[in-house]
Amino acid sequence: MIEAYFVHLAILVVIYLILALSLQLALGYTGLINLGHIAFFAIGAYVSALLTLNGMPFVIAILIAGVVSAFFGFLLSIPTNKLKGDYLALATLAFTFVVYAVTLNWYSLTRGPLGLSGIPKPSILGISFSSNSSFLILTILIAIVTYFVIKKITESPFGKVLESTRDNELATRNLGKSTFKIKSTALATSAFFAGIAGCLYASYITYIDPSSFTIMQLIPILCIVIIGGLASLNGTVLATIVLILLPEPLRFLGFPSSVVGPMRQIVYALILLLILIYKPKGFFGKVELE
Amino acid sequence: MSSIALQLLINGLIAGAIYALVASGFSLIYSTNKFIHFAHGATIAFSAYILYFLFSVLGLNFGVAVVLSILFASLLGFAMNFLVYKQLRKKKTSSVILLIASVGLLILLESLILIFFGADVKSIGLIKVSKGMEFLGAIITPMQVTIIISSLVLLVGLFLFMKKTKLGKAMRAVSDNKDVAEIVGISSEKIYTWSFIIGSAIAGIAGILIGLEQNLVPTMGTNLIIKGFAAAIIGGIGSVYGAVLGAFLLGIVENFGIWYLPSGYKDAIAFILLFIFLLFRPQGILGIKRRAEK
User: How far does the CA of residue B25 sit from the closest CA of chain A (Å)?
Assistant: 19
Alpha helices in B34-61 (DSSP H): 40-51
Whether A147 contacts A18, CB under 8 Å: no
Residues sharing a CB contact under 8 Å with residue B269, sequence separation 6 or more, in sequence order: B253, B254, B257, B261
| Inter-chain residue contact B97 with A215, CB threshold 8 Å | no
In a domain, B292, yes or no: no
In a domain, B294, yes or no: no
pLDDT of residue B292: 43
pLDDT above 90 coverage of chain B, percent: 25
Mean pLDDT, residues A58-75 taken together: 93
Domain interval for residue B98:
3-280
Q: Distance (Å, rounded) from C-alpha A155 to C-alpha A201?
A: 29
The chain A residue lying nearest B226, using CA atoms, is: A94
pLDDT of residue A107: 82
pLDDT of residue B1: 56
Residue B285: pLDDT over 80? no
**What are the boundaries of each domain within chain A?**
2-214
- Please state the pTM of the whole predicted model: 0.87
In a domain, B208, yes or no: yes
The domain tally of chain B equals 1
In a domain, B291, yes or no: no
In a domain, B293, yes or no: no
Report the CATH number at residue B225. 1.10.3470
Interstrand relation of A123-124 and B133-135 (parallel, antiparallel or unpaired): unpaired
In a domain, B256, yes or no: yes
pLDDT of residue B293: 39
In a domain, B10, yes or no: yes
| Inter-chain residue contact B226 with A269, CB threshold 8 Å | no
Instruction: Place B287 in a pLDDT band, splitting at 50, 70 and 90.
Output: low
Q: Which residues of A touch B95 (CB under 8 A)?
A: 85-86
CB pairs under 8 A between A and B: 130
Q: Distance (Å, rounded) from C-alpha A112 to C-alpha A198?
A: 18
Length of chain B: 294
Reported for B64-70, long-range contacts at CB under 8 A and 24+ positions apart, including other chains, are B66/B208, B69/B204, B69/B207, B69/B208, B70/B201, B70/B204, B70/B205, B70/B208
Mean pLDDT, residues A63-80 taken together: 92
pLDDT of residue A149: 93
Q: Distance (Å, rounded) from C-alpha B201 to C-alpha B47?
A: 9
pLDDT of residue B132: 67
ipTM of the complex as predicted: 0.85
Give the pLDDT confidence of A117-137 residue by residue, as tens digits. Answer: 888 888 787 777 778 888 898
pLDDT above 70 coverage of chain B, percent: 92
In a domain, B266, yes or no: yes
- Of A84, A91, A101, nearest to B294 by CB-CB distance is A84
Mean pLDDT, residues B60-76 taken together: 92
Optimal mutation site among B88, B98, B111, B272, interface A, most CBs of chain A within 10 A: B111
Hey, which residues 27-66 in chain A have their CB within 8 Å of chain B?
33, 35
3-class secondary-structure state, position A128: strand
